[in-house]
Amino acid sequence: MPDLSGKVAIVTGCASGIGAAAVRRLVADDAQVLGTDINAEAGQELCREIGAEFLQQDVSDRSRWSEVVTHAIDTFGRLDILVNNAGLVSGASIGEGSDEEMFAAWDHVIAVNLTGTMAGCRAAISAMVDNPGGASGSIINIASTTAITPLPTDVGYSASKAGVRALTKSVATWCAKQGHAIRCNAVIPGATETGILDATEKELPGFKAAVAATSPMNRLADPAETAAAIAFLASDECPFMTGADMLVDGGALSIHPGF
């Protein structure tokens, strides 16, 4: 297991799914963790259970980011890891609904998934540059296979995750060019056993089985499997790895869709 002792992490969207698994894994690897989520009740319960700090946060609120990062530094003395995990789906295709409905869904998902991730990167870099011992850190942005193979049924989610992927590379190369030992990588999960899929399954019985079949492994990922990739990127095991896409998709993007 990666050794994260002495490292301080912020994980957004910590109340469920990949975010909850990431908090559990980073704490297990001896990091000190501040979890955030818009769902205060569930987030507090998780963090209390495993010994992490918690703050309520809407990642699309740019002013809240400075408060969250300041809290981490005031509590732990530094910031080494940011996991930009918070996100949502819009469930709207390009041709659905009225203009008012379409643009409201678009604006919301872009604000959370893409602008929230950018704001997190900016706030984290500012803190990581001032870390005791010099600029250092690891930013891990959670993208999606839809960043590469978009969904026709969700234009906002697909576009936002493609944006997260490009954002990651821009941030990574900017930090490197500045001479900062701050890495930025994207984790690209495939279909994962989360509450989002559970909700869709209720509306569309058989949806989860169909999604699982898109992977040659013919199953959904456990969130802990994605958390393992996050822990690796958070560690010092990969100091030359930045701007990368780490696929955790069960081979879904490695097979021709006809097979």
- CA–CA dist 186, 145 (Å, integer): 11
Tokens of residue 98, six digits: 């009225």
Can you tell me the distance from the alpha carbon of 160 to that of 54, in angstroms, rounded to the nearest whole number?
Answer: 26
Residue among 231, 234, 223, 246 nearest 20 (CA): 223
The answer to whether 128 touches 136, Cβ cutoff 8 Å, is yes
Q: Is 157 considered catalytic here?
A: yes
The dihedral of CA 68, 72, 78, 79: what is its sign? Answer: negative
Beta carbons within 8 Å of 67's beta carbon, 6+ residues apart: 55
Selecting among 54, 65, 76, 157, the annotated active-site residue is 157
Residues marked active site are found at 157
